[in-house]
Amino acid sequence: MSNFVERAMRTPVSPDLLAAAMEAIAELPQDQRRSFEGRAFRLFRLLEERDEGDDAALFAFVIQLRLEALARLHDDRGLRAWTLPGDAEGADYIHADVVAAAAVEPLLEIDEHTVGFDAESFRARVLADAAVRGHA
């Protein structure tokens, strides 16, 4: 694994930035949303708009890794309690606590080409953060 990838895996992003990235990608037409180039172009534009230009390449890569890891959990039905079906295919609504956890949860190397979140650790983080605001 390259130093850049290792650095990216250790880099959290703010929940606000990850949420903004998800919204920006969701606004793309479906063909661009499914295209790596379309998502990357939109991420770089977002980072420029938010004045994150100095570390744009790193943050764009970190966001992509974290979104892929989140999608992997979603596809494995690991987020059932925190998602609702969206209007378009592949555009589900995800609870803000999940986005916040995805912004900071450590990324793990699953194999030589794949990173992800530890599902149990991720769910524990979401539940712990949600409990802080909860009341009976």
Q: How many Cβ atoms from other residues are within 10 Å of residue 17's Cβ?
A: 18
Q: How many angstroms separate the CA atoms of 29 and 36, rounded?
A: 13
Say whether pLDDT at 70 is over 80: yes
Please give the tally of structural domains in the chain: 1
Say whether pLDDT at 9 is over 70: yes
Residue 127 pLDDT: 84
**What pLDDT digit, counting tens, does each position of 101-128 carry?**
999 999 999 888 889 999 899 988 988 8
Exposed/middle/buried for 51, CB within 10 Å: 0-12, 13-18, 19+? exposed
Whole-number mean pLDDT of the chain? 84
Residue 80 confidence class, pLDDT cut points 50, 70, 90 = low
State percent of the chain over pLDDT 90.
Answer: 43
Are β-strands 114-116 and 108-111 bridged in parallel, bridged antiparallel, or unpaired?
A: antiparallel
CA 122 to chain CA centroid, Å, is 12
Strand partners, 115: 109
Residue 63 pLDDT: 95
**What pLDDT digit, counting tens, does each position of 32-59 carry?**
888 989 999 999 999 999 887 678 999 9
Domain that holds residue 93: 3-133
Residue 69 pLDDT: 93
